[in-house]
């Protein structure tokens, strides 16, 4: 059975409580959300219009059957604005359903067509096998291991695999 089609849309203030619930799941081992309260999430959502206007970040809610099931975005490298980095999360009840894989396909299309990127990167901790699978399924190639580039919730540094797709 095929899963329902996904949509991406810009975040709305009314999404804050749902997004906060998803990103503060204590079982998220690899996603480092900075929001400590729903108000923090509202404040973050409010910054997104300016981030898009200044071509810093393009953040989207991932919707399935009109319900937010995760989030995805592209950060633009400010020294090399033709490079973007995709980051994403999916709520625990939606893990292993192909949602991140589909969402990466959708946001990648935006990155390469609308944003005119020539390279898109995905970084993940080596133990995050699910994210590595998403990258591979979308045709990203492993370029190497970066030492101590990801900081977790406890401010500890971790290594990261670098996957990339180049036009």
How many domains are contained in the chain?
1
CATH code of the domain in which 133 resides: 3.40.630.30
Contact at 8 Å (CB) between 145 and 161?
yes
Domain-located, residue 1 = no
**pLDDT digits 0-9 by tens, 52-69:** 999 999 999 999 999 999
In a domain, 25, yes or no: yes
Phi and psi at 87, nearest 5°, equal -130, 150
Single pTM value for the model? 0.93
Asked, for residue 137, whether it belongs to a domain, the answer is yes
pLDDT digits (tens, 9 = 90+) for 15-33: 999 999 998 888 877 666 7
Domain hosting 151: range is: 6-166
Can you tell me which residue has the tokens 């589909």?
Answer: 102
pLDDT over 60 (residue 113): yes
């Amino acid at each position: 059975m095929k899963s329902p089609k996904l949509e991406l849309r810009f975040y709305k203030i009314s999404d804050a409580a749902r997004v906060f619930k998803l990103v503060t799941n204590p079982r998220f081992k690899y996603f480092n959300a900075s929001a400590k309260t729903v108000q923090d999430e509202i404040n973050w959502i409010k910054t997104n219009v300016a981030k898009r206007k200044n071509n810093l970040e393009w953040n989207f809610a991932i919707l399935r059957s009109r319900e937010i099931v995760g989030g995805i975005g592209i950060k633009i490298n400010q020294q090399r604005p033709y490079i973007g980095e995709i980051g994403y999360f999916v709520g625990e009840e939606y893990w292993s359903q192909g949602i991140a894989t589909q969402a990466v396909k959708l946001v990648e299309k935006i990155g390469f067509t609308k944003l005119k990127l020539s390279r898109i990167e995905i970084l993940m901790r080596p133990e995050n096998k699910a994210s590595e699978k998403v990258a591979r399924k979308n045709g990203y190639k492993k370029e190497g291991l970066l030492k101590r580039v990801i900081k977790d919730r406890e401010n500890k540094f971790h290594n990261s695999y670098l996957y990339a797709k180049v036009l």
